[in-house]
Amino acid sequence: MIRFVGRHRALVGAFALLSGGCGKFQQARECGTFVKTVNAWLTSPDAQTGDDGASNDPKQIAEQARRTAQHYAELSKRLAALHVQSEELAPRVERYEQIADSAARTLRDVAEALDRGDLENAREKRVEFDTVAQREGPLVKEINGVCR
């Protein structure tokens, strides 16, 4: 009977080690998938805006804002489809998805304001977009720390 208890403890200990290890393997796999998803989004043809800032035409600017908004909406959709489960990575991917959603929403608002000829509101929404975009850098650092 003593041998059984000793073996049982060894099995429980081994299972605990494997379970913890499996979580790390899952996180590593999810990190790789996340990075590939974001990198594919960044290098897609839609990411190449061709906008050199030279246009002063509100209609062209509005169209560019719509294209960029659609591109961010696509990123949000791709991130949601990953179904990340890792305890450390999941909340960060969710925040990244929220940033993409906010970026898409504010850029659509920019385009709508330009369509109405409301240049002040368009400017305010563009500043809001810039504020949203600034949240990405610190989050990327966090994700890099988790995905080492």
Please write the tens of the pLDDT for every residue from 8-60: 443 333 333 334 456 688 999 999 999 999 999 989 887 665 555 557 899 99
Q: Is the sign of the CA dihedral 124, 101, 29, 48 positive or negative?
A: negative
Q: What is the pLDDT of residue 4?
A: 38
Three-class DSSP labels, 91-130: HHHHHHHHHHHHHHHHHHHHHHHHHHCCHHHHHHHHHHHH
CATH 1.20.1050 for domain 26-43+54-146, yes or no, is no
pTM here?
A: 0.79
3-state secondary structure of 73: helix
Kindly list the domain boundaries of the chain, sorted by start residue.
26-43+54-146
CA distance 37 to 40: 5
Q: Are 83 and 97 in contact (CB under 8 A)?
A: no
CA distance 22 to 4: 26
